[in-house]
Chain A
Amino acid sequence: MKPVNEIHLRFQSHSVNEGFARAAVAAFASQLDPNIEELADLKTAVSESVTNCIVHAYPHSVGEIFLWAGLFADGTVKVRIRDRGVGIPDVRQAMEPLFTTLGGERAGLGFAVMESFCDRVRVHSRVGKGTSVTLVKRIAGRDADA
């Protein structure tokens, strides 16, 4: 299925761009007239994914993050967040709740939050090549708010 509208963003992995990325996706997805909960779900999931790029994919350098978002006629929004960073050796392990390679103040919840707040999460990763995360969320819209 082809999207009825799509955007491409490309930005550097500065942590200040976490806020930019989720706000941009939220503004774009507003065309589907989402309710407040759906918008917050989407923002949270995008924030987790972009933070992963910044913290894990490019740990010692500033790299580029590629974000694509598409709106579909059936009311779903898809967001793909891609990096050319270090990659994930074991995706299944990385997606386990509370698993983190960094310790400190990372809760290890990134993928768990994405899965909890989206309808589908797909992750492709190759060590040394990068990671691509696709988030799919169905927007019921403001009418379904009650």
Chain B
Amino acid sequence: MSVKISSSPQRLTIALGGELDHHSAAAMRQEADAAIEAKLSPKVRLDFSAVTFMDSAGVGFVLGRYRLVNSYGGRVEVTGLDQRLYRMMRMAGLERLVTLCKKEGKKK
């Protein structure tokens, strides 16, 4: 499990790595939220390209960050999704709340 934070004036990027389940999500949440609250960036990117395993805890993770970012009027985009992660995000209807991007920059 790893969380890498980088930012520009316009965007905060949170790159997740390793396995994202109910167990690891707790620590990832803490790190991500600390960065989000410190920057209050108008755009927050959650990059899943280095995630090797994810179950529905990952969907909950995106939902939680969406709520936080939305509370100050920011927007969330989720990038680096493979077919399986994309499918799980769609199951929860996340495409109505955040921008979902598949791997290789393919949008939708």
Taking Cβ atoms with an 8 Å cutoff, the residues of A that contact B are 15-16, 18-19, 22, 37, 40, 43-44, 47-48, 51, 54-55, 97-98, 104-110, 112-113, 116
A113, B56: Cβ atoms closer than 8 Å: yes
Instruction: Flag if B23 contacts A105 (CB, 8 Å).
Output: no
B16 within 8 A of A: no
B5 contacts the other chain (Cβ, under 8 Å)? no
Is B95 at the interface (CB under 8 A from chain A)?
no
Given A44-B84, A113-B91, is A19 in contact with B21 using a C-beta cutoff of 8 Å?
Answer: yes
Q: Which residue of chain A is the closest to B55 with respect to CB atoms?
A: A47
Indicate if B72 sits at the interface (CB-CB under 8 A). no
A110 touches B56 (CB 8 A): yes
Contact A105 B60 (CB under 8 A): yes
Q: Which residue of B is nearest A46, CB measured? A: B55
Q: Bin the interface of chain B by size.
A: 20 to 34
CB distance from A129 to the nearest CB of B (A): 24
Whether A40 and B84, one on each chain, are in contact in the complex, defined by CB atoms closer than 8 angstroms, is yes
A15, A54, A105, A116: which contacts B63 (Cβ < 8 A)? A105
Q: Which residues of B contact A (CB under 8 A)?
A: 19, 21-25, 29, 53-57, 59-61, 63-64, 84, 87-88, 91-93
A48→B59 CA distance, assembly (Å): 12
Return 23 A-B CB contacts under 8 Å, by A number. Answer: A18-B22, A18-B23, A19-B19, A19-B24, A22-B53, A40-B53, A44-B84, A51-B57, A55-B22, A98-B93, A104-B60, A104-B64, A105-B60, A105-B63, A106-B60, A107-B56, A107-B60, A107-B63, A107-B92, A109-B56, A109-B59, A109-B92, A112-B56
Question: Which A residues are CB-close (under 8 A) to B92?
Answer: 97-98, 107-109
